[in-house]
Amino acid sequence: MTSPTLKTDIQVRYGDLDTLGHVNNAVYLTYFELGRVLYFRNFMKHFDVRGIRFVIARAEIDFRKSIEMENHVTLETSIESIGNSSFTFVHRITERDTGEVFCNGKIIAVSLDDNGKPTRVPDHLRAMVSS
């Protein structure tokens, strides 16, 4: 399965940096979150953040190279697969001009019903992914 890929330019902010001048490891997850929200806005008609109920069950990041303030960063976001109640986003952060990879990430999300219990991934989300 694969879905369209959304590319988003990220502006590295001073507050993203740690004491060594690199983007703090935890900030990568914030970048991924931005990618997911923009992904839904871009590929789902009538997107409403309240209409997609899910929690993050697993987050993986493979760090390749540190991001610094001077880097021009692009985030790529797509959906790798959809199961019964879960779906997997893949993320990649690269240097915009060279394509050099800073990190690869994977986020597994679980769809929830109104009572907070796992439920089938909504059909409108499934429709975004081609097999």
Question: Does residue 74 register a pLDDT over 50?
Answer: yes
All structural domains of the chain with their residue ranges: 6-126
Give, for 108, the enclosing helix (H) or strand (E).
Answer: strand 101-111
CATH of the domain spanning 6-126 = 3.10.129.10
Mean pLDDT of the chain: 91
The answer to whether the beta carbons of residues 85 and 119 sit under 8 Å apart is: yes
Confirm whether pTM is higher than 0.75: yes
Kindly indicate the confidence band of residue 131, based on its pLDDT and cuts at 50, 70 and 90: very low
Beta strands in 17-85 (DSSP E): 54-63, 73-82
Q: What is the pLDDT of residues 27-53, one digit of tens each?
A: 999 999 999 989 988 887 666 666 678
pLDDT at 41: 85
Average pLDDT of the segment spanning 13-19: 97
